[in-house]
Amino acid sequence: MININSIWENQKPTNDIIIKTKIDEISHFNCYVATNNITRQHLYIMSISKKVVIPELKNYRFKGVEIFAIEVENNFELNIYLLDNDLKDIFSLFVQNILEDIEKCVTENEAIITTLNVISKWKKLFDKINFNGLSLEQQKGLIGELLFLNYLLSNKKISTNAVSAWTSTEREFQAKDFTLGTIGIEIKFTSSMQPKIKISNEKQLDAENLTELFLVLYSTEAVKENGFSLNSIVEQTRQSISTVQELNIFNGKLQINGYFDDDKEHYGKMYSIKKIFAFAVVSGFPKIVKTDLPLGIYDTSYSIEISAIEKFIIDIKDILQKI
């Protein structure tokens, strides 16, 4: 994996306005991670032949990012500019996604089409990010995922892959909250007096393309002290991550989920865990999936009573033994 943030950090000021570092891992294309020496803004550049047709780019622009092409000598340069350096971590994931996808391309035309497809996907993702802070329900959902991420980080066998396994942000691929090989895990968090499992849509418990699917529910209660908050679980996770590169990826995924450190003052509500439930979503587990629905019906939400799925309860440790 190319460490984009590390490249930016190691770029030293020169007499050039744009400091560029070629990505040697993508040897068949001219791709650069760069920094504007004057504004200190970060950017990604791809140099391509003038024979390549670049479509109108105005529809590809989105919050915090500017995209344009300029003529440089005998080539065009596609520039993807980060306008807000507070989004550096999420931008590095975006650039990483472009590089991973174009590595498989053969021609410059293919690479440009692939790049624009990645941009379109991330535009949809950025449009969904709440830059004005998370609602209480969004905070709870994120806390649940971070609790399970910390559980993975505490396991020596899985810790090095834990951050990569956190896939809830990859909604374009109908990803589960966590994906480890062909095993998927959905995470739920509730502070209700009578815990139940709320399923948001027909995709959540669909095991398509998975060999096994598990569901983990954190049943909690709100407390005034001696509990954990979204802020505290974020800091705990950061301290548990062993490498700078993984930490940068984690921070980027936090931002994709809508968590920004500037909003910390709103995320102090505390909880205490009452019980952790883990379920194997196997044959007979009550659920609604796409194949159950009539044509034209989608985004079907429903709730599951705990008492109806007690026979599917497993020890949470059994999930790790499957990996």
Give the chain's domains with CATH numbers.
Answer: 4-128 (3.30.200), 136-321 (no CATH)
Higher pLDDT, 206 or 57: 206
Cβ neighbours for 159, distance < 8 A, ≥ 6 positions apart: 152, 153, 242
Q: How far apart are CA 28 and CA 108, in angstroms?
A: 9
Percent of the chain past pLDDT 70, that is, above it, reads 99
pLDDT recorded at residue 172: 55
Q: How far apart are CA 299 and CA 62, in angstroms?
A: 26
Q: What is the pLDDT of residues 222-238, one digit of tens each?
A: 999 999 999 999 999 99
pLDDT recorded at residue 54: 82
Parallel, antiparallel or unpaired: strands 183-190 and 178-180? antiparallel
DSSP string, 125-184: HHHH--TT---HHHHHHHHHHHHHHHHHHT-TTTGGGHHHHB-TT-GGGT--SEEETTEE
pLDDT recorded at residue 198: 93
Does position 78 have pLDDT exceeding 70, yes or no? yes
pLDDT recorded at residue 178: 95
Show the tokens assigned to 185: 């895990």
Which amino acid would we find at residue 140? K
Buried/exposed code over 119-129 (b: 16+ C-beta within 10 A; e: otherwise): bebbbebbeeb
Decide: helix, strand or coil at residue 65: strand
Any bridge partners for residue 280, and if so which? 214
In 3D space, the residue among 42, 87, 45, 79 whose CA is nearest the CA of residue 63 turns out to be 87
In order of 190, 196, 197, 303, the CA distances from 140 in angstroms are: 7, 14, 13, 17
Q: What is the pLDDT of residues 153-204, one digit of tens each?
A: 999 888 889 999 999 887 554 579 999 989 999 999 999 888 889 999 999 9
Read off the pTM: 0.86
275 neighbors 315 (Cβ within 8 angstroms): no
Q: How far apart are CA 196 and CA 190, in angstroms?
A: 8
pLDDT recorded at residue 171: 58
Segment 296-305 shows an average pLDDT of: 92
Q: What is the pLDDT of residues 255-270, one digit of tens each?
A: 999 999 999 999 999 9
Q: What backbone phi and psi angles, to 5 degrees, belong to 173?
A: -105, 15
Does position 73 have pLDDT exceeding 70, yes or no? yes
Cβ neighbours for 156, distance < 8 A, ≥ 6 positions apart: none
Any bridge partners for residue 276, and if so which? 218
Does position 61 have pLDDT exceeding 90, yes or no? no
Q: What is the pLDDT of residues 195-253, one digit of tens each?
A: 889 999 999 999 988 999 999 999 999 999 999 999 999 999 999 998 998 999 999 99
pLDDT recorded at residue 316: 94
Q: How far apart are CA 322 and CA 110, in angstroms?
A: 39
User: CB 22: neighbour CB atoms within 10 A?
Assistant: 15
pLDDT recorded at residue 315: 95
In order of 22, 131, 197, the CA distances from 124 in angstroms are: 28, 14, 28
Percent of the chain past pLDDT 90, that is, above it, reads 67
pLDDT recorded at residue 271: 97
Inter-axis angle of helices 244-256 and 230-240, to 10 degrees? 150
Tell me the average pLDDT of the chain: 91
Q: How far apart are CA 272 and CA 263, in angstroms?
A: 22
pLDDT recorded at residue 128: 78
Does position 105 have pLDDT exceeding 70, yes or no? yes
Q: How far apart are CA 215 and CA 91, in angstroms?
A: 31
pLDDT recorded at residue 208: 87
Q: What is the pLDDT of residues 113-135, one digit of tens each?
A: 999 999 988 988 888 787 888 99
User: CB 263: neighbour CB atoms within 10 A?
Assistant: 16
